[in-house]
Amino acid sequence: MSLVGRSLIRIDDYSPEEVRHVLAVAADMEQRIRDSADLLAGRILATAFFEPSTRTRLSFESAMHRLGGAVIGFQDGQTSSAAKGETLADMARIIESYADLIVLRHPVEGSARLAANYCRRPVINAGDGGHQHPTQTLTDLYTIQRTRGSLDGLHIGLCGDLRFGRTVHSLLRALQHYDVRVTCIAPPLLQLPERYEPAGRPVERTAEIEPALADLDVLYVTRIQRERFADAGEYEAVRGSYIIDPGLLQRSKPELLIMHPLPRVDEIAYAVDEDRRAAYFGQAAYGVPVRMALLALTLGAVDSEGLAGPERNGHEWATEPRCPNPDCANRREEYSVPRLWVIDQTRRRCDYCDLEFTT
């Protein structure tokens, strides 16, 4: 199977072998980051960002420029015709006539899947609400692999907003293919939703960071996603739940890897930046070679033939009822057709947002 022309909506869209290939190409791109200027000459990347972004948008743009391509797009949905009422489907079909590939960030879960359903060009999900962020996961895997040599055998702690943190949701789906132990550290209100827990690979859960920290090889910290809370009181109740500072880190391993997808608010003290174990700025920098690899593979500039693709379980599909998740694109975009995996006689799973529900 090949990665050419394929959309990346959730990390599961790539098989473990395909993920490893992306990481291998990323390592090559990192070595010749200033010597790849013609790989995508004449190709155009469109970035459609309906939510704020610094690292994801700029690293995609940097990656495309370093590969010799061009970039068009917008960084605020209010400057697009969405402000006039244009649907996401129509927008996607218009943009694909101007570019070879679309990178989409949107506040609604499942929006990238919906856009891809209406496009012939590949769509890359740069974050869809609190759902997934697969290209950040590729960057996270690359960071751990490059720093530690391998992921297998590691104890990884995910700390902070695991309820709305889309980077964590994608990362957990990828980690199920490695021999790792995962501990989710969050207050009950922010714990990991069951729909993101890997099948057959239960995670440990705790609200106490100090007892968990001593045994961790990787600490992956996330900010509390203030913009996802419908109730301001709930946010105030959990803000500042964890602050990683030098005092707390005295209880950790000398070789601990401290990661964060950024931006941070107050969950990692600035004093930690001087700790040699702080990897988050390097993690952000690795986003460029990782996204260079992804763009080059998707647009066929680098070979990906013969890879084993993701498993297809032969799901039976249903087109009713509509997904009950109020934050799902299938609810927000009324013209969209429900697409549901039939799990059994009564259970369905939405292909847009991954919500599992009973009919």
On the question of pLDDT at 1 being above 90, the answer is: no
Strand spans (E) along 121-186: 123-128, 155-159, 181-185
Nearest Cα to Cα of residue 52 among 126, 160, 136, 124: 126
Distances (CA, A) of 307 to 14, 150, 170, 293, 304: 10, 21, 21, 15, 6
Whether residue 253 lies in the annotated active site: no
Give the SS3 label for residue 171.
Answer: helix
Check 6, 43, 57, 105 and give the catalytic one: 105
Whether residue 133 lies in the annotated active site: yes
On the question of pLDDT at 270 being above 90, the answer is: yes
Q: What is the overall mean pLDDT for the chain? A: 92
Task: Give the pLDDT mean for 184-195.
Answer: 88
Q: What is the pLDDT of residue 34?
A: 78
Domain range summary for the chain, segments of one domain joined by +: 11-131+286-298, 134-282, 316-358
Check 6, 43, 56, 298 and give the catalytic one: 56
Domain 134-282 has CATH 3.40.50.1370: yes
pTM (2 d.p.) = 0.94
Tell the burial category of 208 from Cβ atoms under 10 Å away from its Cβ (0-12, 13-18, 19+): exposed
Beta bridge partners of 204: 183
Whole-number Å distance between alpha carbons of 342 and 335 = 22
Tokens of 190: 């922010």
Distances (CA, A) of 268 to 84, 197, 255, 263: 40, 25, 18, 10
Beta bridge partners of 322: none
Would you give the DSSP letter of residue 338?
P
Beta bridge partners of 219: 157, 258
Tokens of 123: 């769509």
Q: What is the pLDDT of residue 212?
A: 93
Q: Do domains 11-131+286-298 and 134-282 have the same CATH topology?
A: yes
Whether residue 105 lies in the annotated active site: yes
Binning pLDDT at 50, 70 and 90, where does residue 322 land?
Answer: very high
Binning pLDDT at 50, 70 and 90, where does residue 213 land?
Answer: very high
Whole-number Å distance between alpha carbons of 173 and 134 = 10
Tokens of 186: 């969050």
Check 57, 133, 331, 348 and give the catalytic one: 133
On the question of pLDDT at 146 being above 90, the answer is: yes
User: What does 37-100 look like in DSSP terms, one character per residue?
Assistant: TTTTTT-EEEEEESS--SHHHHHHHHHHHHTT-EEEEES-GGGSGGGGT--HHHHHHHHTTT-S
Tokens of 339: 């697409």
Q: What is the pLDDT of residue 201?
A: 78
Q: Note the CATH number of domain 11-131+286-298.
A: 3.40.50.1370
Binning pLDDT at 50, 70 and 90, where does residue 306 land?
Answer: confident
On the question of pLDDT at 117 being above 90, the answer is: yes
Name, of 70-79, 223-232, 256-265, the range with top average pLDDT.
256-265
Whether residue 206 lies in the annotated active site: no
